[in-house]
Structure 1
Amino acid sequence: MAAAPDDGSIADVAHIHPPKIEYFDLDAKSNTDPKGQLRSVDEFRLTPTGLYMFRPLAGHPKISHFESWFLPKLNIRVTRQSWHPGHQLDFDFYVDVVEINAIGSVWKTTDLYLDLIVRTGHSVTVLDTDELISAVQHNLLSAERAQWALETTYSAVSGISAHGHDVIRWLTYSGCPTTWR
């Protein structure tokens, strides 16, 4: 973790940033990413337990597309990526700890730094705890929201682990069954 600059700003600390916010407009079939880029979405599917999204990554050198489930009950976004040949990584699911809000046909997620890498049947790894702590130290996130993010993470790790490191089994057990392409 980089040290904070002497002037008290966060400009020189590369990985420190406010929580990332994304918007998903079901009517417009679009996703506005944290940098404000508008992306086309091939499919949204709204269910009683959440929102499914399938989106290509045109021009991305490694990933051809990804699909995500946004699950408000569990405060997570579960993503499965499809890789171009020769670029596959050794995990099956990427789980973001997020706050999820929906107003009409627009869903908003606020990413609270913590992520999980799941290798089905093998392991679950927590990432970016240092970013969460730095965000609190730099007043980008309240201690209460950080605690909520940590509790959400612990719950997900416990659930995934208890179900043989299988996200889909845990989601089904938790009342959030998912279907994927």
Structure 2
Amino acid sequence: MRHHTNTGIRSVQTYLETDHGLFVAREFIAHPRVRYWQAHLLPAQNVVVCRYDFHGRREHDYHLDIAQITRKGEVWTVRDLYLDILLHDGLMAEIVDTDELLCAHEHGLIDGREMHCAVTVAHATLAALARARYSLRDWQAAQGIRLDWCVAPLTPA
């Protein structure tokens, strides 16, 4: 029940394996903007669909990380490919962090094959979201997937 990231190891409230991947949920302790995080790891799509509960005004509905997702036994590994999509459900979506992708490639943190994969997946995902009228539910339903989310626990003020 641990989430290992580049910034440390965090306790996780929920890990739930699904037909299409893995659901993860945890609190963000002492984070200035985010109080709770939920994510669906979708290896077949090379996407991690994240939903953040913010302390203040909602900045976006979903944050999609373009990533390589693998599983070895009980261990799931996510290799972030730097490109992200911000989704304002039912309104619009945009690819962000192209500068991070290019910088990572320039510094040898990501090779040409991975960069090609990131760009291909990001643009295919954005096109599919556009066809689904920028609805996460409709985009996933078209692929036979239903993503369920939990109600984030209230954090004491």
Q: How far apart, in 2, do the equivalents of 1:161 and 1:134 lie?
A: 28
1:88–1:73 CA distance, 2 compared to 1 (3 A): same
Query: What's 2:125 paired with?
Result: 156
Identity %: 26
In structure 2, the residue matched to 1:7 is none
TM-score normalized by structure 1? 0.79
RMSD (CA atoms) = 1.1
Q: Does 1:178 align with 2:150?
A: no
Q: Which moved more, 1:113-122 or 1:165-174?
A: 165-174
Residue matched to 2:4 = 32
| Residues 96, 116 of structure 1: 8 Å contact kept | yes
Whether the 8 Å CA contact 1:71–1:176 is kept in 2: the answer is no
Q: Matched residues in 1 for 2:52 and 2:57: separation? A: 9
Which is helix-richer, 1 or 2?
2
Letter in 2 for 1:180: W
Q: Distance in 2 between matches of 1:64 and 1:141?
A: 30
- Note the residue ranges of structure 2 that are not aligned, 5 or more in a row: 151-157
Among 73, 95, 100, which residue is 1:104 paired with?
73
The match for 2:112 is: 143
Stretches of structure 1 that go unaligned for 5 or more consecutive residues are 1-28
1:72 to 17, 30, 43: 43
Hey, what does 1:43 align to over in structure 2? Answer: 14
Structure 1, 133-142 or 73-82: larger mean CA deviation: 133-142
Return the alpha-carbon distance in structure 1 between the equivalents of residues 103 and 9 of structure 2.
29
Q: Residue type of the partner of 2:75?
A: V
- Structure exhibiting the larger radius of gyration computed from Cα positions: 1
Alpha-carbon separation, structure 2, partners of 1:162 and 1:147: 23
| Superposition deviation, residue 70 in structure 1 | 0.3
Deviation of 1:80 after TM superposition, in Å, equals 0.6
Distance 1:106 1:172 in 2: 27
Q: Which has the higher contact order (CA 8 A, sep 6+)?
A: 1
- Residue 69 of structure 1 aligns to a residue whose secondary structure is strand
Question: What is the CA–CA distance in structure 1 between the aligned matches of 2:5 and 2:99, rounded to whole Å?
Answer: 23
Count of matched residue positions in the alignment of Structure 1 and Structure 2: 150
- Aligned equivalents of 2:15, 2:46: Cα separation in 1: 18
The alpha-carbon deviation at position 132 of structure 1 amounts to: 1.1
Query: How far apart, in 2, do the equivalents of 1:138 and 1:59 lie?
Result: 31
